[in-house]
Amino acid sequence: MMNPRIALLLLALVLDAWAAPCPDWPTVQAKAEITALGAQLAAWDDAYHRQGVALVADELYDQARAQLEQWRSCFAGIGPPPTDPLSGSAGRVVHPVAQTGLRKLADHAEVRNWIATRNDLWIQPKVDGVAVTLVYRDGHLRQAISRGDGRSGQDWTTQAQRLPAIPQRLPTALDLTLQGELYWRLPEHVQAEAGGLGARGRVAGLLARQTLTEQDAAGIGLFVWDWPDGPAEMRERLQQLDALGFADSLRFSQPLSDFSAARHWREQWYRNPLPFASDGVVLRQGKRPAVERWQAAPPHWAAAWKYPLSQALAVVQAVDFRIGRSGRITPVLRLQAITLDERRIEYVGLGSLQRWQQLDIRPGDQVAIRLAGLTIPKLDSVVWRSPQRRRLAVPDADTYHPLSCWRATPACASQFRARLAWLSGKQGLALPGVGPATWDKLLQAQQIDGLLDWLSLSESQVRNLPGFGERSAAALLHSFGLARQRPFADWLRAIGLPPSGDAPLADNWDELAQRTSSDWQRQPGIGPSRAAQLQAFFRHPQVQALRDQLRGARIEGF
């Protein structure tokens, strides 16, 4: 709730996701990496605290700062000293009561322990907005102060006087100090489905402006999460806040009995509609120390239990260029393993070579990963680029196409392996028990060099293959035997026949090979481009060599 990213300077924030071995860097590189990431964080801090602009999602900022702290612990004394992320945010207006921030509980065990050692507990949503202190004198709003560094902040009084969510006059002439969160109104917002939507940055940006439109002002709400000089009992504080016009406080505060109740409310607020974005829950004791003892540091009487990350920051360890059966090049990022929604992620595909060229991702870069459809890892953005731009061996897109790589040469390893996987898969011959791992063993044993060399393996050769026991060798021989019985059309697809739509296929090779482009275009569903592909397939020397092998093996139709 209250504390934006700025509480992150505490080392306790270092996340489990970054519990990784130290990078194997020489001193010069370590200094360059630490300096560059520190400069990036400083730029983000400046934009956020001085301009009210969030250049990066808060949870990604959290992880980037944790990463920097980990590197500093790995390379002590290397690089410039750490900068204070709050250095540009303090302002000149002193808070009448320090804004404390929150310690973040890492997992279920920490939450259980925290609850077990306290009583008179309550739980609230951790509203994802910007923290503010409101000062009332004789029932009138006299001052609004941004959180700043927790001790002093910017004067937001002029902006606060424009916000309908902040009462300018209370129904009772009281002197009081409130701490709360200014949030962007998001009716029926489900955090688990929509995420934060940049709501915090939007509010921060609006408050940094000199003027606010009526529409923008009406879009900002207020959640009061503490009344430092209010009644000692939490329930009484909440009831009086409600009577004073701060209804969200009572509506979204629940008494807490045990861990099960905490887990229930965390799940409830994560997966059901709320009028604001939230990034977790806050556990707090009803009774607090006297306000004179409050400090701008996480207190012992309140803590945050964050929601699961919607995005995870991952370090790119390598970029693999996988070439598919048709010659399509798909860059795949090898990542330092991360956990996202209880899933371990080590690889993410970029879809196309063109996208990689646009993004220019290199080893050492840090990228944001999210789950598409809650299951498939997806690259969301490049968050930070390493200053070390390592040169990569990028395959030439013009070299690979549907008629390239019919043999196991070094340059063709990826596409040739994809051809083998297609041949034995359900799209081809559907050979039981024969998959990429099987072909890898045959390739490592140097038993196949061409796509169909396995047809000539004898029974004794198969039984003596390294990595095959008696049972697995017998199963492989059985599958190879089944291959010989597959129909002509299955064999055509297995060796790479371009899609032929609804066009009827003859039952022998010679008839199909004699078809011209015009002949193919007369078939249903075949246009000029596909006709040219089909004609080129049957005329290609490597394909004709496959036909000769199949005819020599007495496969029907060839």
Whether the Cβ atoms of residue 282 and residue 3 lie closer than 8 Å to each other: no
Backbone angles phi, psi at 295, to 5 degrees: -130, 160
How far is Cα of residue 241 from the mean position of the Cα atoms in its chain? 39
- At residue 474's C-alpha, the angle toward residues 466 and 488, to 5°, is 105
* Helices 27-51 + 58-74 axis angle, to 10: 150
- Among candidate residues 341, 344, 271, 305, the one with its CA nearest the CA of residue 108: 305
How far, in Å, CA of 251 to CA of 233, rounded?
17
Q: Which residues are known catalytic residues? A: 126
| Tokens describing residue 430 | 């559907």
Q: Residue 74's closest CA among 32, 35, 34? A: 34
Spell out a b/e string for 469-501, using b for 16 or more CB atoms within 10 Å of the CB, else e: eeebbebbbebbeebeebebebbbbbbbbbebe
Cα separations (Å) of 185 from 189, 275, 276, 452? Answer: 9, 6, 5, 64
Tokens of 499: 């899609």
- Tokens read off for 382: 């490049």
Identity of the residue numbered 10: L
463: Cβ contacts below 8 Å, ≥ 6 apart: 470, 473, 477
User: Largest Cα–Cα distance of the chain, in whole Å?
Assistant: 101
H helices present in 52-169, as ranges:
58-74, 108-116, 157-160
Angle at 2 between CA 383 and CA 52, to 5 degrees: 50
What contacts 485, CB < 8 A, 6 or more positions away? none
CA dist., res. 234 & res. 245, Å (int)? 17
Helix runs in 128-258, H state only: 157-160, 191-194, 199-207, 214-218, 234-244, 247-251
